[in-house]
Amino acid sequence: MQAAVVREFGKPLTIEEMPIPAIGRGDVLIKIEASGVCHTDLHAANGDWPFKPTLPFIPGHEGAGTVVALGSDVKSLKEGDRVGVPWLFDACGECEYCQTGWETLCEKQRNTGYSINGCFAEYVAANAEYVAHLPDKMDFMTAAPTLCAGVTTYKGLKETQVKAGEWVAIVGVGGLGHMAIEYAKAMGFHVAAIDIGQDKLDLAKKVGADMTILAGAESDPSDVVQQKLHGVQGVLVTAVSPPAFRQSVNMLKRGGTCVLVGLPPGEFPLPIFDIVLKRLAIRGSIVGTRQDMREALAMAVDYNIKPSIEVQPLTAINDVFARLEKGTVTGRVVLDIASGAEVRSKAAKAAIN
């Protein structure tokens, strides 16, 4: 099979022929049709985080495709089922977090495209108990970003504890942020969208933002939020900029909650006096559980939530990564794995004939 492989951190990925992965008793083999590209994939390829993947590895954790083989113990799936492969490959199932519905906090979890080879490939092995069953009405291209950007922002919005009719600020209107706006509107929230790019704010308006604020080096969007809205009940930060984190806390009303899902390097200062006297909450949120995934997929179908996508071939992955680093990707890039495989298959047949 063809796959994009990280051989060295911080270097271009290589497009290689790799063996189709073997599957264990509880696994399924999935033929990948589409694979979304997430900023986490770029962090993985660069080795940015303290716990690094083991080289070489295949990134990608937004794979959508079809089951083509089953492990001997698999009863919940059959060949031909349409499924999605999420970030959470599996968890221990026994710790206090797994037992209380917080499997995403399991210290023994394994992650697709990080500790386990991922979806930038024509085939991937996945734990049958952790793959997502795709709704019949959802196509593979729509499903791929929903498996990460969708469930991550849906979960993050729940964590803000904002109620229908209240305001939430979405800071950063990229691959996650634009889907966050769609989910927030479906949940009945008023949305203020903040970004440093006018193109991103144009997308925010297109997907339903009630207010857009252009941030810049000489303007603090928290001042605008406080002046026009007297603060918001919740903030979801998807940006990868430390200054945006600090500004986001300043957007809150008394008793408000700021939820962080972006992962920029470094630290940011917190206003201790305001946090204490205004009873502010600052909370991290990491992807979502299997139940969150079921809810996010169902809501996407019921409310016609669709990511703004740009389709690229697998061979374009290094260019896509370069654009992610520069912040010039609007919406979400999805790799069309199936078309590339079909082209290669036709070329091989032509060569034989």
pLDDT at res. 263: 82
Element (H, E) at 126: strand 123-127
pLDDT at 353 exceeding the cut of 60: no
Average pLDDT over residues 113-138: 97
Assign 342 a pLDDT band (cuts: 50, 70, 90): low
Element spanning 252, H or E: strand 252-260
Per residue in 202-217, pLDDT (tens digit) is 999 999 999 999 998 6
Which of 5-14, 74-83, 123-132, 234-243 has the least mean pLDDT? 234-243
56: preceding bond cis by omega (within 30 degrees): yes
pLDDT band for 299, please (50, 70, 90 cuts).
very high
CA dihedral defined by 130, 41, 205, 223, rounded to 10 degrees? 110
Q: 230-249 burial string, b = 16+ CB within 10 Å, else e?
A: ebbbbbbbbbbbeebbebbb
Residue 178 CA to residue 74 CA, distance in Å, equals 36
3-state SS assignment for residue 50: coil
Global confidence as pTM? 0.93
Residue 223 confidence (pLDDT) above 80:
yes
List the chain domain ranges.
2-134+308-352, 149-284
- CATH class given for the domain over 2-134+308-352: alpha beta
Q: Is the pLDDT of residue 340 over 80?
A: no
Phi/psi of residue 321, each to 5°? Answer: -60, -40
Would you say 237 and 252 are in contact if contact means Cβ atoms under 8 Å apart?
Answer: no
Quick one: which of 284, 331, 295, 291 has its CA closest to 156? 284
Among residues 142, 152, 334, the alpha carbon closest in space to that of 260 is found at 152
CB-based contacts of 73, cutoff 8 Å, min separation 6: 25, 26
CB 179 within 8 A of CB 145: yes
Over the Cα atoms of the chain, what is R_g? Answer: 20
What's the distance, CA 228 to chain centroid?
31
Residue 143 has pLDDT above 80, yes or no: yes
Q: Does the domain spanning 149-284 belong to CATH 3.40.50.720?
A: yes
Q: Does the pLDDT at position 345 exceed 60?
A: no
